[in-house]
Structure 1
């Protein structure tokens, strides 16, 4: 016994491991997020990230986009290991752990996994290093800092959306495919819509590929560059503007600890005061629609909005 005390991240990992072993957390259950760990144990987010990274490296937990970090499925009983014949060569592959060569691609992928599971606010260079099991300063050999890392993440995420060499027939089908491809990317990476604005576009090849698809579709109809660009911006802004709400909802829940339903319940008195004022009769009638139960479905709203927008496009010269 040396009397040494384990560092905080190991103590946190041990406690979560105990909860799993005791059945308090079952496979598929969400384990405490980095924000919750930081609050519960009074540690920095980087320490919380390092604790989850330790459990992830052990295979105890796994990150799932927007579900957070969950208890990993239990492995089946290992197969019996057959003894090797004398003189035979080792055939077991080299372990693919943190001792693999560090690359920019691995750093970017680890950062995306953190942002997908915990949100962009939880991302830090220290947290990425902890997830990869490398020294804190190691990622800086490949990435200048968090700002550059976020751009690399965005470029890689946008590049995941590809288009067929044999495109569908008709401008509408092509624009629908482009919009749905972008929406699927934002669904997969909700943080992606948080890092750009219409007035400050990101100079990324991955994003330019989506613009190329839309602009080429409109250009083929003989629209001038200015009109084609405006229609592309309208379509992009619709998808991007709706997608912004994907991450904001998660951020608000993390900050307040309230689900959307709980937050709405907490605002009940304020809405009732608006209704009681009598100044908003149509709004009041509309609220009765919610009384029967209404779940905001962003995917359904996306489809309604996309159809309405393209219906409007269809009235324009060159597309009608």
Structure 2
């Protein structure tokens, strides 16, 4: 049995209401509070136990170890994203997807450590799967091929994590040094004295390039959505020219109604998928 999956996907209805004593919900909440304050580097079973006023061994009766605790914390934090969701009624794909990205960004600003849960083998919990499903749904009504829908949503997720990692790194440096990011860079006079030797940097500096920097999240969000929109427009223009199953170019139909699939194999695959419950 995969204990990590069983714990993440446990039936919440089978759990008793929170009590004053130790329980899994209190452990997860304490872990989130600790990670919010110190990042994942500061998270340990001992620190969580100390925060709750219990022994470390008592935690292991509820959660097998730190990795499983982090997985539970991640899914609980993602649940906040789902709870905050306010999807624009009757809106098209772009406002819907943008709203979900902004909600995800707010969640990551509250919990920057979410971006520290790295790797390709993190088993998702029910909240993570529900969120992924909702994000995919924003693009499934567009001309994008199914694989492009998945790729676009994955791109959005990586963008949010990359932005959140910058927050994590900034907070880590400020905690360890006691010096703010602005103060640290403001004290690098010896570096700035050397920069006039670089003409492009100097020209951008003199023309105000650093006076009011672009917000990296807002800039990146607009560019990503613009890119997805351009791809959707391209697919829409070629909707009748490509195979509805594999996306390959269709040969012109000799007569009759336009072709939908490039081969009988693609037609059969599409038919089987529609028949699959």
Q: TM (normalized to structure 2)? A: 0.69
Unaligned runs of 5+ in 2: 1-18, 238-277
Aligned length: 215
Alignment-derived partner of residue 39 in structure 1: none
Are residue 177 (structure 1) and residue 99 (structure 2) matched?
yes
Give the one of 182, 191, 206 matched to 2:113: 191
In the TM superposition, residue 149 of structure 1 has moved relative to its aligned partner by: 0.9
In the alignment, which of 185, 196, 216 is matched to residue 301 of structure 1?
216
Shift of 1:164: 5.0
Shift of 1:141: 0.8
Q: Structure 1 residues 204 and 287, CA, compared in 2 at 3 Å: closer, same or farther?
A: farther
What residue number does 2:12 align with? Answer: none
- For residue 159 of structure 1, report the CA deviation from its aligned partner: 1.3
**Which of residues 123, 128, 134 is equivalent to 2:48?**
128
Counterpart of 2:154 in structure 1 is 233
Match of 2:200 in 1: 282
Of Structure 1 and Structure 2, the greater helix share is in: 2
Q: Residue 202 of structure 1: CA displacement?
A: 4.5
Q: TM-score, normalised by structure 1?
A: 0.61
Q: Which residue of structure 2 aligns with residue 243 of structure 1? A: 164
| Displacement of 1:204 | 2.8
Q: Counterpart of 2:179?
A: 258
1:310 to 219, 225, 236: 225
1:281–1:212 Cα change, 3 Å: same
What's the CA shift for 1:101? 2.1
TM superposition shift of 1:310: 1.0
Measure how far apart 1:155 and its partner are: 0.9
1:218 & 1:272 partners in 2: Cα distance? 50
Q: Distance in 1 between matches of 2:201 and 2:81?
A: 40
Instruction: Report the alpha carbon displacement of residue 165 of structure 1 after superposing the two structures with TM.
Output: 7.6
Q: Which has the higher contact order (CA 8 A, sep 6+)?
A: 2
**CA-atom RMSD in angstroms:** 2.5
